[in-house]
Amino acid sequence: MAGLFSSFFEWISSLFFSKSAEICIVGLQASGKTSFVNVISNGQWSEDVVPTVSFNLRKVKKGSVVFKIWDVAGQPKFRSMWQRYCAGVDAVVFVVDSHDRAKLETAQFELHSLLQQGSLTGVPLLVLGNKNDLAGHATVDELIQILQLDTIRSRPVSCYSCSMKSRHNLNIVMQWLSERGH
């Protein structure tokens, strides 16, 4: 009964006291960026996701937070645009396909090139090692090492292993993002 009351209270509060957070999602193509936005906005995961051209802008309300989400394309020709969408946001989410180990070095290079941009100074970073439903995926410890996350200074950095397909760890990811709301 207490649980029911507190859920009702949270729902009522969310109607009156909503926060907002602007998030930019980047990462190499096919890492699962659009799948992430789809799963958190309508719960739908699909094997056939149309490759993103340029960017998509989505608004998603989760609990008491309204997220404005930039889902930016990851093909090489679009990577130079990442910094423009990431400037001034409340968090950058960098998605990697943790099962595709051959691409992790390129991901490391692109992540650090992005973070060097002065317009991103201090912006919190969340790294998602996606596709952990697939055997042989890189663990969080491996991602920290290969992506050189321990060398990143002057911003909060978190890294989670997750799966858009099985939704593993998405609650904790959404909790982290909700804390960026203001």
Q: Which residue numbers belong to the known binding site for Mg(2+)? A: 34, 52
Amino acid at 137: H
List contacts with ligand GDP (CB under 6 A): 27, 29-35, 46-47, 49, 51-52, 74, 130-131, 133-134, 163-165
Q: How far is the CB of 52 from ligand GDP (least distance, A)?
A: 5
Q: How far is the CB of 182 from Mg ion (least distance, A)?
A: 27
Contact 137, 131 (CB under 8 A): yes
> The tokens of 65 are what?
């937070």
Q: Select from ligand GDP, Mg ion, none the partner in contact with residue 131, using the beta carbon and a kind-dependent cut-off of 5 to 8 Å.
A: ligand GDP
In the complex with ligand GDP, which residue's Cβ is closer, 47 or 150? 47
Q: How far is the CB of 46 from ligand GDP (least distance, A)?
A: 6
In the complex with ligand GDP, which residue's Cβ is closer, 12 or 51? 51
In the complex with ligand GDP, which residue's Cβ is closer, 25 or 181? 25
Contact 135, 102 (CB under 8 A): no
Q: How far is the CB of 151 from ligand GDP (least distance, A)?
A: 24
- Sequence-distant (6+) residues with CB within 8 A of 89 are 22, 23, 24, 70, 123
- Separation between Cα atoms, residue 149 and residue 132, nearest integer Å: 19
- Separation between Cα atoms, residue 117 and residue 38, nearest integer Å: 28
* CA-wise closest residue to 52 among 38, 66, 72: 72
In the complex with ligand GDP, which residue's Cβ is closer, 83 or 130? 130
Q: Select from Mg ion, ligand GDP, none the partner in contact with residue 98, using the beta carbon and a kind-dependent cut-off of 5 to 8 Å.
A: none
Q: Do the bridges between strand 55-62 and strand 65-72 make them parallel or antiparallel, or are there none, so unpaired?
A: antiparallel
